[in-house]
Structure 1
Amino acid sequence: MPIDAVVFDVGNVLIEWQPERAYDRLIGEDKRREMFAELDLHDMNNDVDLGAPLKERAYAFAEEHPKWGDAIRMWHDNWFDLAGPAIDHSWRLLRALRAKGVPVFVLSNFGDDIWDRASEVFEILKEFDRYYVSGKLGHVKPFNRIYEIVEEDSAIEPDRLLFADDRADNIAMAQARGWKTHLFEGPQGWADCLVAEGLLTAEEAL
């Protein structure tokens, strides 16, 4: 079946998302290891992905864990240290698809209130044809409903969607629904997939 739309995750597909690496710079690796062993900051961020305001959630979590209060607040205050840099080759691939008239969608676990700020810093986030952002929808990957929303809103059959994500559980749910998928492990593999699907030529995928 031909592909009618290409669906991009954001974190670690278009923009690196490595909070541990950022905290190594901000507070030092030893303190970061200790903090992440004691606290589940990624679980805290799941609430943000579901629509909780980032500052409100991070600051409340900091109050709950005063030992690490200053560092936890960095999840909000230093968010742009946690997110980035851009994955330039992936940006080029998205723009190459758009140049050929291939619709591109975003399907991302991403906070509602941080999305607009992130879009000013990472301009690629303004360049999608359709947006499926968990914090705006109140549903997250890898749960079924957010994939249903994509299908219903776009009116595209599952086997005509091609989805790239860096997490195997997110990919598995898409596959279960009949989507074509690519587990993103680097932009060159994604480029090769787009060429294999006939969406880009090898030259266009550079």
Structure 2
Amino acid sequence: MIKAVIFDIGNVLIEWQPERFYDSAIGEDRRKAMFAEVDLHGMNDKVDLGGPFKETIYEAAEAYPKWRDEIRMWHDHWIEMASPTIDHSVKLLRALRSKSVPVFALSNFGIGSFDYAETVYSYLGEFDRRYISGHMQVIKPDPKIYQMLEDDCGLAPESLLFADDRVDNIDMALSRGWKAHLFENPQGWADCLVSHGLLSAEEAAA
């Protein structure tokens, strides 16, 4: 029996497509050149591990003067990268809560960037428990972050149902005995919730 449903945030509740943003901002060719030279996702991992949001990104910008302005955009235009909301997923979150199903967040997210996101996306405050990597100083798929969630909530692994868009994060959850769903679109997640008896088809509809 599922006793808690766990949502990743990026690409589950909010689209997170930095490459798409940069394609629109500086063009695909320049974006590809920059991403080939600069490990921007590695930089973002430092933020997700608890590094200061602006300082971490601006330090990376200074290390690559050729791309200084573009790298700073990761901070200065961050909310444009972390958008739009996946509305159906938010509806599922609220439908679960309306039925008193505990709903947690487990997300690789920085401290400062999450604080900022909360000012724009009010539903980030609607979880029963939030496990945000920046505060935990460990990121998925490190088994430690899963262990920390288990220890904190006190629920058996097999009673947890987790949605994430990355295969490596899902594989780690499965290896710990969690139930898990690889999120590709909100309808697939809705169907999963229905199949577990957590929502009716009507409650899970877009």
The TM-score normalised by the length of structure 1 is 0.99
Identify the residue that residue 2 of structure 2 maps to in structure 1. Answer: 3
Question: For 1:113 and 1:136, how far apart are their aligned partners in 2?
Answer: 10
Partner of 1:38: 37
1:55 corresponds to which residue?
54
> TM-score with structure 2 length normalisation?
0.99
Instruction: Quote the offset at 1:157 in angstroms.
Output: 0.2
Question: AA paired with 2:169?
Answer: N
Query: How many angstroms does 1:54 deviate by?
Result: 1.3
Name stretches of at least 5 consecutive residues in structure 1 with no aligned partner.
none
| Structure-2 separation of matches of 1:29 and 1:113 | 28
| Counterpart amino acid of residue 131 in structure 1 | R
Distance apart, 1:81 and its partner CA: 1.1
Runs (5+) with no aligned partner, structure 2:
none
Percent identity (aligned): 63
Amino acid at match of 2:80: D
The alignment's C-alpha RMSD in Å is: 0.5
Q: Does 2:85 align with 1:86?
A: yes
Residue 163 of structure 2 corresponds to 164
Tell me what 2:142 maps to.
143
**What is the match of residue 14 of structure 1?**
13
Runs (4+) of structure 1 exceeding 3 A deviation are none
Cα displacement string for residues 113-151 of structure 1 (whole angstroms, at most 9, x for unaligned residues): 111110110111010000100001101100011000111
Pairing 1:119-134 to 2, within 5 Å after superposition = 119-134=118-133
The yes-or-no answer on 1:112 pairing with 2:111 is yes
CA shift for structure 1 position 34: 0.9
Report the equivalent of 2:184.
185
Residue aligned with 2:101, SS: coil
Shift of 1:95: 0.3
Deviation for aligned residue 1:184: 0.2
Q: Structure 2: how far apart are the matches of 1:34 and 1:125? A: 34
Give distance in 1, aligned partners of 2:33 and 2:89.
33
| 1:65 alignment partner in structure 2 | 64
Measured after TM superposition, the shift of residue 29 of structure 1 is 1.3
Give the number of equivalent residue pairs: 205
